[in-house]
Structure 1
Amino acid sequence: MPESSAAPAARPTPSEPVELSAEDAKLVVLARGARGRVGAVEGAAVRDQDGRTYAAASVSLPSLTITALQLAVASAAAAGATRLEAAVVVTEASTLDGAGHAAVRDLSADAPVHVAAPDGSVLGTVTA
């Protein structure tokens, strides 16, 4: 995979058992579904300023590699979203990938990015 100039991986802030709002819990369900449908490494979902949601799975092709979070943000932007309210990535990794994090920050400086395990349990949240 080519070197990326995106920000380094961000480590989610460990926290006590995380209580998500109903809207953010829905993002976890959508991200898990996107990941599971195609057996992808990661799934992600975002919610835009109008409450619309976009879900995606990571893609790894010979000519294209994109993280689930990048693809979810790209789908939102392509649909006209100008701001994100929240994002979720479901992954087996212990960190949030830098490229996905940077994509979220392109549309929102303060949207929480929840990182969840494949079973849906939230590992932590990146807010910066």
Structure 2
Amino acid sequence: MTDETLSAEDAKLVTLARATRVRARADEGAAVRDLDGRTYAAASVRLEHLDLSALEVCVAMAVSSGSAGLEAAVVLTDAEPALDAVRDFAGPGVPVHVGDERGRIERTSGT
């Protein structure tokens, strides 16, 4: 899937993930949309006693906000993203668009 084939709502997730990653000066940026259409964006957290991927932070935000599941996710990273947290929370079939630090989507994986 290329950037041109993303829906407008998924393109919004790319913008949120990129802006969050840049603002936090983080290795990764991610954004998710829940089943109610709410969006959550986060950067990776790398501390001595806390190490979370950007997707893990997004899932934690959605869960703590009372979300019932996810429609889609975007992660901008140089590494292979771990989808376990998304899968644990939202189950199978959630599209996860994976892109580079500039926000170019390279592929779409599913949970």
Fold in common (TM above 0.5): yes
1:56 aligns with 2:49: no
CA RMSD across the alignment: 1.1
The correspondence of residues 90-101 of structure 1 with structure 2, limited to 5 A, is: 90-93=76-79, 95-96=80-81, 98=82, 101=83
Give the TM-score normalised by the residue count of structure 1.
Answer: 0.81
1:127 aligns with 2:90: no
In structure 1, the partner of 2:84 is 102
AA partner of residue 109 (structure 2): V
Query: Counting helix residues as a fraction of each chain, which structure ranks higher?
Result: 2
What is the total number of aligned residue pairs between the two structures?
Answer: 109
Q: Using the alignment, how far apart are the partners of 1:87 and 1:106 within structure 2?
A: 14
Q: Provide structure 2 residue ranges, at least 5 long, that are not aligned to the other structure.
A: none
Name which one, 1 or 2, has greater alpha-carbon Rg: 1
Q: Percent identity?
A: 53
Select which of 49, 63, 66 maps to 1:77: 63
In structure 2, the partner of 1:117 is 100
Query: Counting strand residues as a fraction of each chain, which structure ranks higher?
Result: 2
Q: Return the offset for 1:50.
A: 0.2
In structure 2, the partner of 1:65 is 51
Runs of 4+ displaced beyond 2 Å: none
